[in-house]
Amino acid sequence: MEVTHMTARPTGEMSALLDELLAERAVLRLLARYANLVDYGDASACALLFTEDGYFELQGGERNRLNPYAPFPYPEDYLLGCGGRPTDKGFRFEGHAGVRGFMAGLARDRLRLHAVLQPVVRLGDGEAWVESQMVALGKNPKEDHRVLAFGRYFDHVVHTQDGEWRFRSRLCEL
């Protein structure tokens, strides 16, 4: 059986739909790559998934609208020591250095499995907004496997000049 290849390029509406699907797929790859890099403890590579002026913000505890009675998942001195800046709802880690500092702290003492679930992508002109759920499972030598965190991500992602999709902001609501 001979296999033939399509040589005609899609035009008009079909081309626009294909561009949209490819952009959405690239955004979903960014979410998966982030989860894998956090799990593998590669803080430097994880930080490069953000724009230079991008940030990661962690919210939880009494600041959390999902579960206002949940304790904040990390001690305040730990978050400040990783370079976090307090906000009215949590802690923000700004730029590549800030994101790298927080991610390096996560990798120090724990094996982790981090899953991003049910992402909903809304595309704009060269940018996207994503809402997804997350769960992180982990273990360290002193404990059994357990749920470390669960919550939601609210992302603003941009298509950068180098052709990559990167986080401009990632809000993690625990």
Q: How far apart are CA 107 and CA 112, in angstroms?
A: 8
Residue 145 lies in a domain: yes
Q: How many Cβ atoms are within 10 Å of 172's Cβ, its own excluded?
A: 19
Domain total in the chain? 1
pLDDT of residue 63 exceeding 60: no
Residue 86 lies in a domain: yes
Residue 102 lies in a domain: yes
Beta bridge partners of 170: 56, 155
pTM (two decimals): 0.85
Angle (nearest 5°) at CA 146 between 43 and 39: 20
State the CATH number of the domain containing residue 165: 3.10.450.50
Residue 116 lies in a domain: yes
Residue 8 lies in a domain: no
Residue 2 lies in a domain: no
Give the total residue count for the chain.
Answer: 174
More confident residue, 43 or 60: 43
Element (H, E) at 15: helix 12-40
Give the range of the structural domain holding residue 118, as residue numbers without chain letter. 13-173
> Using 50, 70 and 90 to split pLDDT, how confident is the model at 79?
confident
Residue 3 lies in a domain: no
Q: How far apart are CA 130 and CA 38, in angstroms?
A: 19
Over the stretch 90-124, which tens digit does the pLDDT of each residue have? 899 999 999 999 998 876 656 678 899 999 999 99
> Using 50, 70 and 90 to split pLDDT, how confident is the model at 139?
confident
Over the stretch 7-20, which tens digit does the pLDDT of each residue have? 556 678 888 889 99
